[in-house]
Amino acid sequence: MKLKRSAGILLHPTSLPGSPGVGNLGAGARYFVDRLSEAGIRWWQVLPLNPPGAGGSPYSATSAFAGNPTLLDLNALADAGWLTEAECTSFATGCETFHPREFPVDAVTARKREMIALAAGRWADDGGQDDPGYVAFCDDHQSWLDDYALFAALKLAHDEKGWQDWPEDLVRREPDALDHARKELHDSILAERFAQWQFFHQWSALRHYAAERGVHFIGDLPIFVAMDSADAWANRSLFELHPDGRADAVAGVPPDYFSETGQRWGNPLYNWEALKESGYHWWIQRISYICRTVDLVRVDHFRGFESYWRIPAEEPTAIHGEWLPGPSDHFFDALREALGEIPFIAEDLGIITDEVRELRDRQNLPGMKVLHFAFDGDPNHPFLPHRYPEHCVAYTGTHDNNTTRGWYKSLSDMERHHVRTYLAHPDDGIIDALVECLFGSRAALTILPAQDLFYLGAGHRMNTPGEPEGNWGWRMLWEELSDDQTFQRLGELVDRTQRRT
């Protein structure tokens, strides 16, 4: 896959301003598209759009297929007649105590779920299940929707406990127990199906709006699924899980730049042999789905397809584990045979071996470069912009990094000296100089986190790996999104570096 010279902005939709409590797929998202289009930005990169699990992380989603209902635009549900203006106003009033910079994940998600259930009830009372669009959606997504809707309803009925802590007959998915749950939780299941139908309807409308303005989406595909997910619960044989849900080992990464003790993610590991025997059917469905949702796909933790870190389940950290071989070329060749050429970006950061690079290159996938990692004094560091190949995607930082202003402030005197020397630029205006250098590089695609547009400091980062709390809640202010000077400056940078397409 060959990328055209272009530029993008990284911003998860939850971070959009202008709506109560959390960003959504409505007017604020369309206005953001307008701003990108005006500046000549071709790409809007998002984090996984799936419903987040505990802690609000979209990388620990309760489904690898479902969309996040918290992103629904309630005004659109009101326009359809399923909510009243007074109810939308009441929801907004309930969010007035939240800081405009803050998306309080648990509080807003719970309130929004109540609003969606209210809308779903009215839709159902009006015979909505017979709507041809809804029927077609359910038929098209049956392979995952039935299990997910039941899973989500059961989690709600069991006070959001993980499925491994449900009654044993539900853990083991005994047919009689599942049939009873479907009858008992009929209304809740229907509300979940309604929410998914509306999510994909609203997302499709936003994507169409963006495409008309020359803006396309980069999605994010975590390699692993969460332990507490419909995928693990409903597809036990595809993972290293016992029938009772226990795992002997879990996923993570050993100590690296981000953490001295590594990262013990706790995801279930794949049973790659069983997946291979099935022709990677589950994975092919997953890739097919995301390619219908976005235009480019960032494959998170790409190195896990070459080899993955297996941590014994009893280990409290990721220090002790072992590397085991992943499915490698056989997996990607099977995907290509089933789906054709797939627009992947390989997230090849962290502990990367020659074998991982060779797999990336054999599959002709663009890798990633991160400017923040470049300034250790090595004049030949591969992340210095003059070293970038054309076939790559370059970032100042990712969602896991500090903001560029926060990062620069945190550097030692010697590291800041390396930056100033490389750029031949003083401290004053150094952020602009870094961004200009990145955009001026040979990299086909450059991505700027939205925080760096506004020179925001360390308190505005999206995620701090290894920190279980205080992540995923950052929001842009409306005054920032509506700042003409900022987007004019961005457009001039795009033109100056010949990235307007």
Q: Which position among 300, 306, 348, 452 bears the catalytic label?
A: 300
Q: What is the dihedral of CA 90, 96, 101, 107, to 10 degrees?
A: -60
- Residue 84 is classified by DSSP as -
Does residue 371 contact residue 396 with C-beta atoms inside 8 Å? yes
347 labelled catalytic: yes
Name the CA dihedral angle for 134, 140, 144, 149, rounded to a multiple of 10 degrees: 10
The residue written with tokens 């370059």 in the block is 394
Catalytic entry in 400, 415, 432, 436: 400
CA distance 479 to 253: 39
Q: Which residues of 163-173 are buried (b: 16+ CB within 10 A; e: fewer)?
A: beebeeebbee
Known catalytic membership, residue 492: no
Clarify whether 467 is annotated catalytic: no
Of the candidates 73, 147, 347, 452, the residue annotated as catalytic is 347
Taking a C-beta distance cutoff of 8 angstroms, is the pair 31, 10 a contact?
Answer: no
How many angstroms separate the Cα of 415 from the Cα of each of 247, 375, 404, 431, 439? Answer: 43, 6, 14, 15, 21
Torsion 477-401-349-386 (CA) sign: positive
Q: What CA–CA distance (Å, rounded) separates 467 from 485?
A: 35
**Pairing mode of beta strands 367-370, 307-312:** unpaired
Order of strands, sheet of 344-346, starting from the edge strand that comes earlier in the sequence: 344-346, 296-300, 216-222, 43-45, 6-10, 445-449, 392-395, 367-370
Which residue type, as a one-letter code, is found at position 107?
A
Q: How many CA atoms lie within 13 A of 372 on its CB side?
A: 24
Distance CA 404, CA 411 (A): 11
Which residues, at least 6 apart from 302, have a Cβ–Cβ distance to it below 8 Å? 223, 346, 347, 348, 356, 360, 365
Using alpha carbons, list the distances in angstroms from residue 232 to 60, 141, 239, 325, 494.
Answer: 12, 18, 7, 21, 43
Catalytic residue annotation: 300, 347, 400
